Copies of this chain bind each other. A is one copy, B any other.
Amino acid sequence: MQSKTPKISEAVVRRLPIYLRYLQHLFDMNIRTVSSHELGQKLDMNPAQIRKDLAYFGEFGRKGIGYEVIYLIEKIKQILKLDRTIRVALVGAGHLGIAISNYNQYLKENLTITAIFDTDPKKVGTSIGAMNIYHLDELSAIVAKQEIEMGIITVPAFAAQEVVNKLVAAGVRTILNFAPVTLKVPANVHLRNADLTTELQSLAYYL
């Protein structure tokens, strides 16, 4: 699949989970086939954009018919690497970290938080659901042992750069940061910011 991909923009990649989500909804409703036009209406997107996005990865539809729902779900899962288990470390067992950890237990799609890290002695050694809370000093060892590939940062802003450094040193190359600070990472690390504060502040503009 990835073999014949030219350069896929992040905008395209970020739309794929939205397609996937709606396709799964269609599947649950026993709808077997869908056109880019129908998808576009439901998802508020241009049908040409949907076709173009999918066409980057292969020919998944049938002219005159549309896309077979179950087949397209399979394909998008493959593209997003959601066809295998991906283990995730979460660093920072505060309110937000705990909320995400709990949320994780309901998540499907093979993305699973397997270890939580903190530095608070009162939290280290306890657990949230099936997830143990380890000391941050154990990060590197646990990441290696559990074959963790992704990291989520939910520590306060002042601690975030140190945490991301440790994740990178431990070999984690894909990181979602909730701390309200701009972090520096090497070019081969994929860092995404998902900071609530900046989100709300930018929304205020539209009041």
Contact = CB atoms under 8 A, between A and B. Distances in A.
Interface residues on A, range: 35 or more
Interface string A50-81: 00000000000000000000000000000111
A20 B205 CA distance: 13
A112 to B, nearest CB: 10
A95 interface: yes
A88 B198 CA distance: 15
Contacts of A22: 182
A141 to B, nearest CB: 21
Contact of A99 (B79, B82, B98, B149): B98
Contacts of A88: 200
Contact of A203 (B21, B43, B176, B184): B176
24 contacts: A13-B205, A16-B201, A16-B202, A17-B201, A18-B182, A18-B198, A42-B182, A43-B182, A79-B205, A80-B201, A86-B204, A95-B98, A95-B99, A96-B99, A96-B103, A99-B99, A109-B197, A111-B201, A173-B207, A174-B203, A176-B200, A192-B203, A194-B194, A194-B196
Interface of A: 10, 13-14, 16-18, 20-22, 42-44, 79-82, 86, 88, 95-96, 98-100, 102-103, 107, 109, 111, 149-150, 152, 173-174, 176, 180-182, 184, 190, 192, 194, 196-207
A98 B42 CA distance: 31
Contact of A82 (B96, B111, B180, B201): B201
How many copies of this chain does the complex contain?
2
Contacts of A206: 13, 173-174, 190
A206 B82 CA distance: 11
3 tightest A-B contacts by CB? A99-B99, A17-B201, A17-B198
Interface centre among A152, A182, A192 (most CB of B within 10 A): A182
Contact of A44 (B176, B182, B190, B198): B182
